[in-house]
């Protein structure tokens, strides 16, 4: 059987080569552009991973999707790229959804790429079946910026529920918590537009300028696009180690005042509400990892870590373990999905409440995007801080949520949602950030 061959090419300008690769890769109907955005971390092996074209694909609906994935993966001795939609919960937690889905990403999608690019600080590795590596490299170097006419029909961004409705739902959820139905629940609201015409590549570039994030992605499956600025890792396996890094706890930043910005960071670190919210998710993730790890190997490596991103400070904890050798990588995902930071505790009851109170399917939002190496090590993000777009029906959506506890203040939870979508609002309102795309905000 033919095997993928890698050839390395040196370059001198990392920013320039990434822009050239992005412009080149965006023309493929199947594309994963996964960018670390230069965030320092010993957990990030590559600065940028790019996978375009298909040698094989799997598209599956919830029901037996993980069984199909295990079979598909077992037949491939190569890299895999793809995603898990939040609505796989109907399979993993027996929690079906009858809500509408207007974007239309498959519940599960994985593919073996035709061309694979691994970008480090000074080298670009091109992985192909064949010997035309130099041709691909030259194509990338000769890729010009797309010509833009900046003529886009204006459209309105709407909220699926009003602020008054949102505040009422939060109060209902607090009552569920007081009755003992759950301890914490992640509730999300949708912002959307119909008849929206835009260039996904333009929007992704604008998003990167405003909010560069360590798990950002330009992801395309046919007519569906994910433009992602996620700061969160769902699950990573490296040999006999596995880790999850849930985020719970968010505060604004003040780039104009470093003293105030540091005070906001310290306020988040000391917040009893955010620490309680974070520790509940940590307990849930510990329980999830215990399903896939050897006995007594699950540990909390870091609790309540505070990390700063361009838009927000975040409270992040790290949980590690030693994975069971008898489990396939796909089973590790199935037994821990959906991730605790986007559901709550107890997970089964919380998913029922999400179905009761939210108005549309989350789809790929709250799901996971990432890659699997030939040795079946893997790394997946949490799809948050993301814009989803269907270029056929011209529907655009982005979601925001927060963890609701008994001590939640509905007004503050609403403000946190707006903070999380601030980057999208800036793209919409600021012509220099948004490439003059003609957006309007209601």
* pLDDT at res. 2: 76
Domain ranges in the chain are: 5-144+152-441
- For CA atoms 18, 21, 26, 29, give the dihedral sign: negative
Residue among 360, 363, 396, 364 nearest 380 (CA): 364
Q: pLDDT at residue 433 above 60?
A: no
- Token readout for 154 is 């204006």
Q: Over the stretch 279-310, which tens digit does the pLDDT of each residue have?
A: 999 999 999 999 999 999 999 999 999 999 88
CB atoms within 10 A of CB 257: 11
Q: Which helix (H) or strand (E) holds 270?
A: helix 258-270
Which of 22-26, 50-54, 197-201, 242-246 comes out lowest in average pLDDT?
197-201
* pLDDT at res. 311: 82
* pLDDT at res. 440: 36
Token pair 């010993």: residue? 42
Question: Mean pLDDT of all residues in the chain?
Answer: 92
Q: pLDDT at residue 218 above 90?
A: yes
Q: pLDDT at residue 434 above 50?
A: no
Q: Give percent of the chain above pLDDT 70.
A: 94
Token pair 């395309």: residue? 220
Average confidence (pLDDT) over 98-123: 96
CB atoms within 10 A of CB 45: 15
Average confidence (pLDDT) over 379-395: 96
Interhelix angle 200-210/14-25, rounded to 10 degrees, is 150
How many helices (H) and strands (E) in the chain? 13, 23
* pLDDT at res. 442: 32
pTM: 0.94
Q: pLDDT at residue 421 above 70?
A: yes
Q: Over the stretch 166-182, which tens digit does the pLDDT of each residue have?
A: 999 999 999 999 999 99
* pLDDT at res. 310: 83
| Assigned superfamily of 5-144+152-441 | Anthranilate synthase (3.60.120.10)
Q: pLDDT at residue 437 above 50?
A: no
* pLDDT at res. 35: 97
* pLDDT at res. 441: 33
* pLDDT at res. 33: 98
* pLDDT at res. 423: 83
Q: How far apart are CA 75 and CA 68, in angstroms?
A: 11
Which of 44-48, 78-82, 130-134, 351-355 comes out lowest in average pLDDT?
44-48
* pLDDT at res. 436: 37
- Of the pLDDT bands very low, low, confident and very high (cuts 50, 70, 90), residue 156 is confident
* pLDDT at res. 144: 76
- Token readout for 10 is 């040196």
Q: pLDDT at residue 155 above 80?
A: no
* pLDDT at res. 152: 54
* pLDDT at res. 151: 40
* pLDDT at res. 431: 39
Q: Over the stretch 332-358, which tens digit does the pLDDT of each residue have?
A: 999 999 999 999 999 999 999 999 999
Residue 311 φ/ψ, nearest 5 degrees? -95, -30
Q: Over the stretch 36-66, which tens digit does the pLDDT of each residue have?
A: 999 887 788 899 999 999 999 999 999 999 9
């Amino acid at each position: 059987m033919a095997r993928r061959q890698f050839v390395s090419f040196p370059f001198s300008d990392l920013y320039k080569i990434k822009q050239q690769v992005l412009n080149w890769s965006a023309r493929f109907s199947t594309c994963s552009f996964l960018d670390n955005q230069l965030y320092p971390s010993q957990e990030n092996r590559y600065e940028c991973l790019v996978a375009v074209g298909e040698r094989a694909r799997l598209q599956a609906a919830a029901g037996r999707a993980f069984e199909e994935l295990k079979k598909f993966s077992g037949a491939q001795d190569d890299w895999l790229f793809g995603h898990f939609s939040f609505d796989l919960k109907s399979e993993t937690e027996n929690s079906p959804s009858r809500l509408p889905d207007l974007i239309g990403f498959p519940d599960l999608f994985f593919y073996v790429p035709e061309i694979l690019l691994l970008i480090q600080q000074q080298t670009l590795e091109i992985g192909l079946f064949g010997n035309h590596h130099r041709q691909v490299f030259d194509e990338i170097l000769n890729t010009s910026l797309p010509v833009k006419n900046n003529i886009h029909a204006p459209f309105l961004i709407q909220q699926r529920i009003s602020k008054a409705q949102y505040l009422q739902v939060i109060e209902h959820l607090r009552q569920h918590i007081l009755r003992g139905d759950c301890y914490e629940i992640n509730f999300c609201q949708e912002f959307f537009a119909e008849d929206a015409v835009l260039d996904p590549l333009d929007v992704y570039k604008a998003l990167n300028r405003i909010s560069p994030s360590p798990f950002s992605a330009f992801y395309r499956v046919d007519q569906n696009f994910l433009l992602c600025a996620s700061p969160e890792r769902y699950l990573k396996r490296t040999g006999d180690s596995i880790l999850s890094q849930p985020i719970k706890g968010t505060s604004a930043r003040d780039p104009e005042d470093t003293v105030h910005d540091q005070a906001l960071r310290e306020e988040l670190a000391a917040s009893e509400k955010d620490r309680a919210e974070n520790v509940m998710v940590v307990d849930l993730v510990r329980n999830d990892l215990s399903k896939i790890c050897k006995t007594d190997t699950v540990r909390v490596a870091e609790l309540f870590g505070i990390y700063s991103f361009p838009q927000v400070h975040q409270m992040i904890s790290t949980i590690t373990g030693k994975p069971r050798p008898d489990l396939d990588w796909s089973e590790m995902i199935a037994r821990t999905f959906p991730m605790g930071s986007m559901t709550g505790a107890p997970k089964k009851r919380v998913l029922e409440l999400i179905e009761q109170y939210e108005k549309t399917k989350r789809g790929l939002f709250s799901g996971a995007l990432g890659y699997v190496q030939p040795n079946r090590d893997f790394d997946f993000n949490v799809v948050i801080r993301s814009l989803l777009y269907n270029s056929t029906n011209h529907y655009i959506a982005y979601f925001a949520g927060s963890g609701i506890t008994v001590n939640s203040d509905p007004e503050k939870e609403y403000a946190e949602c707006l903070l999380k979508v601030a980057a999208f609002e800036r793209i919409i309102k600021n012509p220099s950030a948004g490439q003059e795309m003609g957006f309007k905000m209601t």
